[in-house]
Amino acid sequence: MLVIGLTGGIGSGKSTVAGFLKELGAEIIDMDKVGHQAYEPHTEGWEEVVKEFGKEILLPDNSIDRKKLGAIVFGDPQALARLNHILHPRMYEIAEQQIESHNKRGTRALVLDAAILFEAGWHPLADEVWVAVAPEEVAVQRIVARNGLKEEQVRARIQSQMPPEEKAKRAQVIIDTNCNLEEVRQKVIRLWNQRVMV
């Protein structure tokens, strides 16, 4: 089984690449969803997050109110670092278990879809890392159009992420998505044929 770590900054086209890989038959582990599993009510992760940030972040059903938690951590780098310190190792473990079960089922290719693959230290889970890249101007236009955010908000988000050049240096495969969708699809199909179908 080939485990592909797929990463890329906001507006890089990473989700588009993931979608094409799924069409080709890859199984996808979405690390955002794994993050939600890492603090489901009454798990160790949940207990630590509640201990760290207080019961005010809980909804009536005892699940964590992600909006409240987000409001606390996104303006405060130290609070975000504390949250990541709790969640990232747990997310690694959950992903590792999911990879193991895919391996047992005979999955041919598995994609670990994670914007912060390197930052969180999850890249050792992958056999190789693919990074989606697009020029900053293109990424900004995509996100403004998709999420309705203001340009300066998008630029602030881009600035807060690991630079694409740094990700590209550490990846085995670089997919430039600054082209039309069909061209991106063809690039992904070529890579799939070279790396998975061999």
Domains of the chain listed by start with CATH number: 1-26+108-198 (3.40.50.300), 34-93 (no CATH)
pLDDT of residue 140: 94
**Phi, psi of 38, deg, nearest 5:** -70, -15
Instruction: Measure the CA–CA gap between 153 and 140, rounded to whole angstroms.
Output: 9
pLDDT, mean of each 10-residue run, the chain (198 residues): 96 97 97 94 95 96 93 88 96 98 96 96 98 95 90 87 93 97 98 91
Instruction: Measure the CA–CA gap between 148 and 165, rounded to whole angstroms.
Output: 26
Rg (CA), the chain: 18
Residue 81's alpha-carbon distances to 28, 47, 123, 139, 173, in angstroms, are 27, 17, 19, 26, 29
pLDDT of residue 198: 75
The secondary structure element, H or E, covering residue 70 is helix 66-73
How far separated are the first and last CA of the chain, in Å rounded? 12
pLDDT of residue 197: 85
* pLDDT tens sequence across 52-81: 999 999 999 999 999 999 889 987 889 999
